[in-house]
Amino acid sequence: MATMTGKLILLSLALLYFVLVCNVSADGMIKVRLLHFLNPQGKGHNGHCCDGKFGICERNGCDHYFKMCLDAPGRRDKSTANCAYGKQIKIDPTIDQDQITFTQRYKNVQNPIAFEFNEPLPFETVLKVSIYDYDRWTKDDFVDRLEQPITQLTDYPMDYALQSRTTLRVQIFKECKPNYYGPRCTTACFPPTRGEYTCDQFTGRKICSLGWTGPSCDEVTGRHV
């Protein structure tokens, strides 16, 4: 009897866990569209030219490359290697350019860059970007570090300018995967089997079709068309 009771308790806990997980599941992404980058002086963080010797700068620009990630607000770690949300993205070097206009497919990345989530999208996050000058024969030079707090995620692109010694202009927006809706992509609304409802394109709320009613639009009213 005790064994049976124990099994029932374990089964109940498993069902409770399943319900909780299902209620917080999500499928969405935060997208970062790179627009334009400017290093106005063509120098590294130390004030030296990216290319040149003995204080004499060469005419060509820096060989910039970027590392970026999404992190939780308030973290002291400035690195882009250990962020709270997803992996670090590295963009291959752009040779001899102090100004960069990013295209839809830039170097090794698709632009916008998608940071995917299998959990509810965060209420707030921080875009962190580290910028380096690539050197073939010596250690890469650190150029700049940029951060942008993101306190509002929208379905449409919002413009941001990350500025320090350099400037990086981006657009940031969220995108839910198919059948997921809401500000954090936590509301699931799957296509009906009998046309009994449609899904609100923003909230995911079920909108009952004529002849159907109830919270899940699964109750017949007798007025079918």
Query: Do 162 and 194 lie in a common domain?
Result: no
Q: How far apart are CA 130 and CA 82, in angstroms?
A: 13
Q: What string of pLDDT tens digits covers the 225 residues of the chain? A: 445 444 444 444 443 333 333 344 568 999 999 999 999 999 999 888 887 665 666 667 899 999 999 999 998 888 899 899 878 999 999 999 999 999 999 999 999 999 999 889 999 999 999 999 999 888 899 999 999 999 999 999 999 999 999 999 999 999 999 999 999 999 999 999 889 999 998 899 999 999 999 999 999 986 555
Task: Provide the CATH number for the domain around residue 194.
Answer: 2.10.25
Residue 223: the pLDDT is 58
For residues 69 and 91, membership in a common domain is answered with yes
175 φ, ψ to 5°? -150, 120
CA proximity to 68, closest of 86, 56, 54, 53: 86
131 vs 93: CA distance, rounded Å: 10
Q: Which of 112, 192, 205, 193 lies closest to 158 in space, CA to CA?
A: 112
Q: List the one residue out of 125, 134, 120, 131 whose CA is nearest residue 160.
A: 125
CA distance 193 to 130: 49
Overall number of domains in the chain: 2
Does one domain contain both 34 and 86? Answer: yes
Spatial separation of the C-alpha atoms in residues 211 and 220, rounded to whole Å: 6
71 and 105 in a single domain? The answer is yes
The overall pTM is greater than 0.85: no
Q: Do 145 and 40 share a structural domain?
A: yes
Are 52 and 131 part of one and the same domain?
A: yes
Tokens at residue 113, please?
């860059």
Q: Which domain holds residue 215?
A: 189-225
Q: Are 46 and 139 in contact (CB under 8 A)?
A: no
Given CA atoms 167, 40, 44, 95 in this order, what sign does their dihedral have?
A: positive
Q: Is residue 9 part of a domain?
A: no
Diameter over CA atoms, the chain? 87
Same domain, 108 and 207: no
Neighbouring residues of 146: CB distance < 8 A, sequence distance ≥ 6 = 128, 129, 131, 162, 163, 164, 166, 168
Q: CA-CA distances (angstroms) from residue 51 to 107, 136, 143, 202? A: 22, 11, 12, 50
The model's pLDDT over 158-197, given as tens digits with 9 standing for 90+, comes to: 999 999 999 999 999 999 999 999 999 999 999 998 899 9
182: in domain: no
